[in-house]
């Protein structure tokens, strides 16, 4: 291991920033800790306003040439990045697992292939991005998508590379240049992505990676007058600070924030399916913004549903995420574990009952938990825990189910289990959510819009919606027979 390189499971990772096509070290560092065992993986360059200024300047300088690059060439380079991801898939998987604690088997089979797909999808979508010309009183209207400029992308720790490339890929495809700020708890795969992009032929300055604490460099990133777009995935309080910082320059924002999503189980549902969907909410140790953490179950089947859920949850294995047999790994950080346990202990003190779990399992793990006897206005029902903690409430009527489902400040997603298609149509039409799943969960397509309502976010990502955000959408109107004869 050299001064600026750490090794994770035999994979060398550069700990410096990537700015203007070069590695740049900071004078100070911060430790990167593995949630698996609490070990320090290495010291990471700790960015300051100086590195931010250099990255934005590099992105600004690279923007005109990248924006002018033909669509087909931009798409070719993005496909080359995808090739590089696939070539290094195993390395990316083990580094990500070590850095954020999610299951290695998931990274190998689903997450890292999805990273490559993110680049391929937006490369291909770019080539077919168009709006049919239309006429207004004989005048021709032509819609085009012009690259907006340098874009700041601030990404979370729960699915670091997948969620980063969900932003990086469309921003680059749109012709923008990027300053990527990965979460300080999980910076490693962003560094590897910089290497892969450079090897794929992405010009210097088009992608820049600045590491560090959001509290120290966030404002420098989001208030910079040369930044033309800001995309953030994370918490509501941080989003408020970003919005306030961006306001001075009226920089457009895309915000994908928290959730407190419901799982509605009606008496006519397939209860085995409903219990399977419920157990899925423990995925990634509950660190999924889309998770349906509030079970709303019709009274007449609540006891049977709970029995089946507890039986299935009891079959889960919690432990080292590198083990193929593990179903639930660690939570990301002792600070997050403390937060999770605080929610649970306050709920128990207020009269909630732990059907399962309700306690820590060592320094890095929290037992899968289901709480019942919880009030609708209680903290545990209203606030996002972001851990393996679920609640169960009952309802008597369809109207009550909808009321309870919508009774939070969030509106990211909802899941519905019912055997009645007419009920499904009625209920989904009334749910406040950006995504609704009926008798399924986490089926995702990049063609579909993704985002939240209320405090769950601003804007939509996916397909043309991503290009609408990362571009200045222009309409050109041409008069009929208005050309002079130059012949």
Q: Which residues are catalytic?
A: 256, 289
| Distances in whole angstroms, Cα of residue 433 to Cα of each of 339, 391, 394, 410 | 26, 19, 20, 8
Helix/strand/coil for 415: strand
Helix/strand/coil for 158: coil
Residue pair 151/466 in contact (Cβ under 8 Å)? The answer is no
H helices of 20-111, where?
Answer: 49-68, 71-87, 89-100, 104-106
Around Cβ 121, how many Cβ atoms within 10 Å? 23
Residue pair 251/174 in contact (Cβ under 8 Å)? The answer is no
Helix/strand/coil for 83: helix
Residue pair 345/357 in contact (Cβ under 8 Å)? The answer is no
Alpha-carbon distance of 339 to 475, in angstroms, equals 49
Q: Which of 67, 227, 253 is nearest to 145 (CA)?
A: 67
Q: Which residues of 97-113 are buried (b: 16+ CB within 10 A; e: fewer)?
A: bbbbbbbbbbbbeebbb
Alpha-carbon distance of 211 to 191, in angstroms, equals 9
Rounded to 10 degrees, what is the CA torsion of 465, 468, 474, 477? 10
Residue pair 368/388 in contact (Cβ under 8 Å)? The answer is yes
Alpha-carbon distance of 438 to 358, in angstroms, equals 29
* Chain Cα centroid distance, residue 217: 20
Helix/strand/coil for 141: strand
Around Cβ 483, how many Cβ atoms within 10 Å? 8
């Amino acid at each position: 291991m050299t001064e600026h390189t750490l090794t994770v499971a035999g994979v060398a990772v550069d700990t410096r920033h990537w700015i203007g096509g070069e590695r740049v070290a900071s004078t100070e560092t911060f430790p990167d800790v593995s949630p698996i065992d609490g070990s320090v993986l290495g010291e990471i360059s700790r960015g300051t306003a100086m590195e931010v200024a250099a990255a934005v300047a590099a992105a600004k300088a690279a923007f005109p040439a990248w924006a002018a690059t033909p669509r087909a060439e931009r798409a070719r380079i993005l496909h080359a990045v995808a090739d590089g991801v696939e070539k290094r898939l195993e390395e990316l998987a083990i580094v990500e697992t070590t850095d954020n604690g999610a299951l290695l088997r998931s990274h190998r089979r689903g997450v890292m292939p999805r990273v490559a797909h993110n680049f391929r999808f937006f490369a291909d979508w770019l080539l077919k991005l168009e709006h049919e010309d239309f006429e207004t009183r004989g005048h021709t209207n032509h819609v085009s998508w012009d690259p907006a400029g340098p874009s700041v992308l601030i990404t979370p720790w729960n699915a670091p590379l997948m969620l980063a490339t969900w932003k990086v890929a469309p921003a680059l495809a749109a012709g923008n240049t990027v300053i990527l700020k990965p979460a300080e708890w999980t910076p490693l795969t962003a560094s590897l992505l910089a290497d892969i992009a450079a090897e794929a032929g992405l010009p210097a300055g088009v992608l820049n990676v600045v590491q560090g604490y959001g509290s120290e460099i966030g404002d420098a990133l989001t208030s910079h007058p040369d930044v033309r777009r800001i995309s953030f995935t994370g918490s509501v309080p941080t989003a408020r600070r970003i919005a306030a910082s961006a306001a001075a320059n009226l920089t457009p924002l895309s915000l994908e924030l928290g959730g407190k999503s419901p799982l509605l189980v009606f008496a006519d549902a397939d209860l085995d399916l409903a219990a399977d969907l419920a157990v899925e909410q423990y995925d990634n140790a509950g660190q999924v913004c889309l998770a349906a953490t509030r079970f709303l179950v019709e009274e007449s089947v609540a006891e049977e549903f709970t029995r089946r859920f507890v039986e299935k949850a009891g079959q889960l294995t919690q432990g080292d995420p590198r083990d193929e047999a593990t179903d639930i790994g660690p939570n990301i950080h002792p600070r997050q574990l403390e937060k999770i346990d605080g929610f649970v202990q306050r709920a128990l003190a207020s009269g909630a009952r732990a059907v399962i779990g309700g306690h820590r399992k060592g320094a890095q793990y929290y037992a899968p938990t289901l709480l019942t006897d919880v009030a609708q206005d209680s903290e545990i029902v209203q606030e996002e825990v972001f851990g393996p903690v679920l609640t169960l409430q009952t309802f008597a009527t369809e109207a009550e189910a909808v009321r309870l489902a919508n009774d939070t400040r969030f509106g990211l997603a909802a899941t519905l289990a019912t055997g009645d298609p007419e009920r499904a149509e009625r209920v989904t039409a009334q749910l406040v959510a950006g995504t609704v799943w009926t008798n399924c969960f986490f089926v995702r397509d990049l063609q579909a819009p993704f985002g939240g309502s209320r405090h769950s976010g601003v804007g939509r990502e996916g397909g043309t919606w991503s290009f609408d955000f990362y571009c200045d959408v222009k309409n050109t109107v041409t008069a009929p027979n208005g050309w002079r004869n130059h012949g």
